[in-house]
Structure 1
Amino acid sequence: MSAARFLAVLLAVMLAVSQQAEAGGKYVYEVFILGWGSAGEAINHRGQIAGRGGGHAFLYANGMVTDLGTLPGNTESAALGINRQGQVVGSAFGLNQPTRAFLYSGGLMRDIGSLAGGDTTAMDINDAGHVVGISVLQVTFPFAFLYKDGLMRNLGSLPGSDRSGATAINNRGEIAGTSGVGPSQGPNGNQAHAVVWKNGHIHDLGTLGGLNSIGQDINDLGQVVGYSTFAGGDFPNENYGGFIWANGKMRDIGAPPGGNQALPLAINNLGQVVGGYNRSGEGRTFLYSRQGGMRDLSSLVNPSRGWTIVYASDINDRSQITGVGCDYSGSCVAVRLDPWYLHRKKFSSE
């Protein structure tokens, strides 16, 4: 069987399972409390989670939460990405301290450097160990970087621009992020577009009709999610919404009933998307899929403890979600949302 055919069959099986989960009963998700940490930021296929809490990055794996500490000379850290091998990336920082990108692997956290000595943050890592993020040049100009084989490379920006940032990398080496449209001091200085770096070239993904768009995540199919202004809109006004970009086209994914201003943060290989949205001035979270449309995420959670999911940062290919949940007492903790079929089978995801 060819690699392409195998991937197609695998995705079909995974999609069928996700549809089973979404149609499985009165609720879709059980809330699993990590027991430590203020926010889950990234989740891999094994259900391991990287996040931040108590001033430090953490890794949840094998039923345990590990404080990853920070880099020498820094006092705080935050984890933002994790791959299948459990390697974690993020940033180390502190008051009046430089922000430095780290890679945690094999029990050790190390500084991966910068483009030119400026503040640097690692945003994501793929299964090959390639890291992307943002590094500041010339005091104020941030640029996207790729860290690969021990070397950090500037990915550049759209022609004429002096700023960019990379937020995600897939297992094909395709990178999603954002680039300025023109020089910071020029007539388009406040404009930015979602972009993809692919095969050494940068591609402008456009907008939903407005001036600006922001790229947030990319899956292994090359589908990108983010948010964009609509025609006549510009940040930070209310005229923006979430998008999926696929096959050369950007599509508005809307918002749950009564809501607007969707801000997608992550997309898995099934095309499921999580993020936040606004409903009557209240920040809420959503789960989007082609078969289920846009739904409020808290409404899909077992209601027995009154959980409200206030932050949904990532979703893996088993439809597990991480972020922050608050229970009926108002206590908010880092959580993992497990689909009901995993919970009922008592399936271990470590």
Structure 2
Amino acid sequence: MIDLLGPPGRGRAAWLMALSVLALACAAAHAAPARYSATALSSGNSMAYGLNARGDVSLAADDVGGGTAGWVKGVLIPVPMGSGSRVSSDGRVGVLVDNGDGRQRPGLFDLRTGDVTVVGPPHTLPPIVRDANRQGVAVGYASEAPPNAEVFSGGSELELGQGSVNAINSQGEVAGTLWHTDPLSGDDQWWAFSAAPGSTVIQWIAPISSGLSNEAVAMDSQRVVGVSDVNAGSGSVAFYHHLRNGLTVPLAGLGGSGAGALGVNTHGAIVGWAATPGDADYRAVLWTGRNQVHDLNQLSDVPAGWLLYEAVDINPKGQIVANGADAAGNPKAFLLTPVSGAQAPATVSRPRLSPRMLCEQLRPWVRLPGTKTPAACRWMRGR
């Protein structure tokens, strides 16, 4: 993928002027995306959260009583007291650890050994882990009112403000969403942000449309991706932010009034969801360029009558975890693996479905009475 935001150190103005030229160049050089074989991750209802480079998946599954689990080489591993986090590069997921006095501490559960590491102090309300890196640093939020965005490490925590930290990379940089006063409109909104390792200095990622809100969902060593409001009533756009030069650009959708980016790999490939024209339904999508968006239903051998409605993560090998539904509307999590020489999938009838909204899964704003719910969430909840 051509990085449309440019390498670190390039001037912002020069890259803004060159965006149209780069888009044309990218389109000319663009190769057809891979085809994928689809593997169901459970026999019952399931929902995926994340994927690492080894192919480990974090998910919720009826096979383990509806609780959280890990999928490692085809085996489902129950995760007691799991918090529904992504899975770190070394195969650890977020859990709650009983402190013995009615309080709970954030921890990490190793999918291969079953070992649990406590990463933060005790809380009266359950602290939630959303992501972790190989160094054992976890991020999420403490469930106080208002909720506090937290970085958990070595049994202690670093508070960054009202909101949630949703992603951490191998360098320890973090990204998420905080309650912030828009410097132009003066309104309080949810704004995406990034921060350096161990720092409380916030680098704001402004929404695509001034005066509205946005949410950072995932990151790698160079990029942050998420969803941004595009008007005050309804609609959203997926965005891509470069950590080094500070540029933020929107990603093309499928013709509907909403899209959101949920995962990014080290090669710059991005996955998420997008609404179809007329907002008839939602599709899991892959972006291989700013304006190259691909419906994964058209690239995968999902069974006839089934639908992939959101892709939540992608690893460096190009594997993707996606959530979908069978012909009866039951939720299913899939691992999509690139293959060569795959035949086109059978025709899929697509029921009208709402995606599992990232607003509900990742954000704590419902705990803030009187605050503004981002337009993207209002629109999605109404579907």
Give 1:23 shift. Answer: 4.2
Matching of residue 51 in structure 1 with residue 59 in structure 2: yes
Report the CA distance between 1:272 and its aligned residue.
1.1
Where in structure 2 are the equivalents of 1:95-106 lying within 5 Å? 101-105=106-110, 106=113
5+ residue gaps, structure 2: 1-29, 344-383
Corresponding residue number in structure 1 for 2:349: none
Deviations along 1:299-348, one digit per CA (max 9) or x if unpaired, are: 1112664542123211111111113233456554221011114989xxxx
Query: How far apart are the structure 1 equivalents of 2:170 and 2:305?
Result: 37
Aligned residue in 2 for 1:152: 157
- Are 1:84 and 2:96 matched, yes or no? no
- The gaps in structure 1 that reach 5 residues or longer are 1-18, 71-76, 158-162, 345-350
Change (3 A) 1:58 1:242: same
2:273 paired residue among 270, 276, 279: 276
Residue correspondence of structure 1 range 1-350 to structure 2 within 5 A: 22-24=32-34, 28-36=35-43, 38-54=46-62, 55-70=66-81, 77-90=82-95, 101-105=106-110, 106-109=113-116, 112-114=119-121, 116-137=123-144, 140-154=145-159, 156-157=160-161, 163-182=162-181, 188-189=187-188, 191-199=189-197, 200=199, 201-210=201-210, 211-221=212-222, 223-230=223-230, 233-234=231-232, 237-246=233-242, 247-256=245-254, 258-279=255-276, 280-281=278-279, 282-290=281-289, 293-302=292-301, 305-328=304-327, 330-341=329-340
Once the two structures are aligned, what percentage of the paired residues are identical?
Answer: 23
Letter in 1 for 2:41: L
Aligned length: 296
Go from structure 1 to structure 2 and tell me whether the alpha carbon gap of 1:153 and 1:115 turns closer, same or farther (over 3 Å shift).
Answer: farther
Conservation of the 8 A alpha-carbon contact between 1:208 and 1:228 = yes
- How far apart, in 2, do the equivalents of 1:313 and 1:275 lie? 6
Q: CA deviation at 1:264?
A: 1.0
Report the structure, 1 or 2, having the larger strand content: 1
Return the alpha-carbon distance in structure 1 between the equivalents of residues 238 and 122 of structure 2.
31
Give 1:209 deviation, angstroms: 2.0
C-alpha RMSD of the superposition: 2.9
Distance (Å, rounded) in 2 between the aligned partners of 1:152 and 1:342: 49
Instruction: List per-residue Cα deviations over 1:199-255 (Å, max 9, x = no partner).
Output: 41210111112321111111112x11111123xx23xx3242111011211101020
Task: Give the superposition deviation at 1:91.
Answer: 5.7
SS of equivalent residue, structure 2 residue 84? strand
Contact 1:114–1:120 under 8 Å retained in 2 = no
| Counterpart position of 1:11 | none
Q: Within 1, Cα distance between the matches of 2:95 and 2:177?
A: 18
Amino acid aligned to 1:66: I
Q: Deviations over 1:261-304 (max 9, x none)?
A: 11111111111111112223322221111187112121111266
CA 299–92 in structure 1, closer or farther in 2 if over 3 Å, else same: farther
- With over 3 angstroms needed to count, the CA separation of the structure-2 counterparts of 1:306 and 1:320, relative to structure 1, is farther
Between 258-267 and 77-86, the greater mean CA deviation after superposition: 77-86
**How much has 1:113 moved relative to structure 2?**
4.5
Question: How far is the alpha carbon of 1:259 from its aligned partner?
Answer: 2.5
Q: Which moved more, 1:210-219 or 1:114-123?
A: 114-123
Compared CA separation, residues 45 and 341, structure 1 to 2 (3 A): farther
Q: Distance in 2 between matches of 1:342 and 1:131?
A: 40
Provide TM-score, normalisation by structure 2.
Answer: 0.69
